[in-house]
Amino acid sequence: MSTPLWILIYLCFSLVCKWILSWGGASYIKGWKSIFFLDTESSSWNEEQVKMMTLFLWIGFSILFVIGLIYPEYRFYKLKNSL
């Protein structure tokens, strides 16, 4: 996977996380809609729990993002025709 594509994926993920945490996305996706964003068991979570899980996922993916920038072989997969 090319570095620009890796950065683009991280920026899109960060934008969704920022929307959930700061711009009212947690109140929009709480309930059954959170299944598509977080976890299959998250349908009974309230707004604060959705925000906490999103924060944990964002921190975890940020660590993976930095590792992927330093060591490209640790990215999720490699594309034959990189962008």
Quick one: pLDDT at residue 26?
83
Cα–Cα distance, 38 to 17 (Å, whole number): 11
Cα(first)–Cα(last) distance of the chain, in Å? Answer: 8
Cα–Cα distance, 31 to 46 (Å, whole number): 7
| Least confident piece of the model among 21-30, 51-60, 62-71, 73-82 | 73-82
Over residues 16-57, the pLDDT tens digits come to 999 989 988 888 887 766 777 676 676 777 888 888 889 999
* pLDDT at residue 13 greater than cutoff 80: yes
**pTM (2 decimals)?**
0.77
**Number of Cβ within a 10 Å radius of residue 21:** 16
CA angle 20/43/18 to nearest 5° reads: 5
Query: Which is higher by pLDDT, 83 or 32?
Result: 32
Show me where the domains of the chain are located: 3-74
